[in-house]
Amino acid sequence: MKLTEQQETVLRRAFLRALEHERCRNQPAYPENPTDEQLAKYSSDILAFELGWTLKPRQIVFVALEMAMDTLRRLPDVERGWLGMRTNFPSSLVIDDSSEKYRESLYWEIIQMIRDGKIGNPDIEDDRFAPRSVPTSKEITEMEVVFEVYRSLLVGRPQNHARDWRILCWLAAGMTMMEVGKRIGFRHKNQGNPVQKRKELQCVAIAYTLKDVMPEQLSW
């Protein structure tokens, strides 16, 4: 897939936001009412963090997808948005746009997880899927481009693309590896974690194809 100039610009912005998001989440927290000893340790920890912290491109790919799912989560009247906007982001979340039943199935599974508390817990302060403000137009554009481009860059057997896309979306929406494995029906206990393998395969493939729009700070 050849990216348009607009898609390249949007993805560069999305990846930079994802990088900054992860940097903020991972850097040492400033201590409350710190003592001199705590301040010294914090300074040392920050220095070590800045010198040693890095992310792989495949990680940024997935963080950007998590942020896209978060944007979807924050859209007002998300049910109507998903099922009504056939030419916009909703159709990009699945492989077969002509299968209305398939589209609705994936959507309602994610919505039900939100309602059941499996995605989004307002009691957890740092939960990325807790209710937040309505997303900006830039965030919505990033979400649309991420869904559209990622979906088009899946690798492997075409008949497995729908399955792998569901794996990526479910994981990015907050499901655990075990939950996704059960829903997909993986039973290959002696072959490692097939969900992790599919996630890694697709994220690496997407990152490699999009290497020209990745932040320069990333470690390949």
Which residue shows structure tokens 């001199």?
A: 36
The pLDDT confidence band at residue 6, using thresholds 50, 70 and 90, is very high
Q: What is the pTM of this model?
A: 0.73
> Is 210:11 a contact under the CB 8 Å cutoff?
yes
**Average of pLDDT values for 123-138?**
61
The pLDDT confidence band at residue 32, using thresholds 50, 70 and 90, is confident
173-179, long-range: CB < 8 A, 24+ apart: 173/69, 173/73, 173/110, 173/113, 173/119, 173/129, 174/69, 174/113, 174/118, 174/119, 174/120, 174/129, 175/113, 175/118, 175/119, 179/118
* Other beta carbons within 10 Å of 57: 20
Q: 167 pLDDT exceeds 90? A: yes
Q: What pLDDT digit, counting tens, does each position of 60-113 carry? A: 999 999 999 988 888 776 544 443 443 334 444 544 444 455 555 665 666 566
Least confident piece of the model among 53-57, 118-122, 134-138, 197-201: 118-122
Residues 33 and 146: their CA atoms lie apart, in Å, by 41
> Is 146:93 a contact under the CB 8 Å cutoff?
no
**Average of pLDDT values for 187-215?**
86
Q: 137 pLDDT exceeds 70? A: yes
DSSP secondary structure string for all residues of 155-199: -S-GGGHHHHHHHHHHHHHT--HHHHHHHHT---TBTB-HHHHHH
Which residue shows structure tokens 């929406």?
A: 173
pLDDT at position 34: 84
pLDDT at position 104: 54
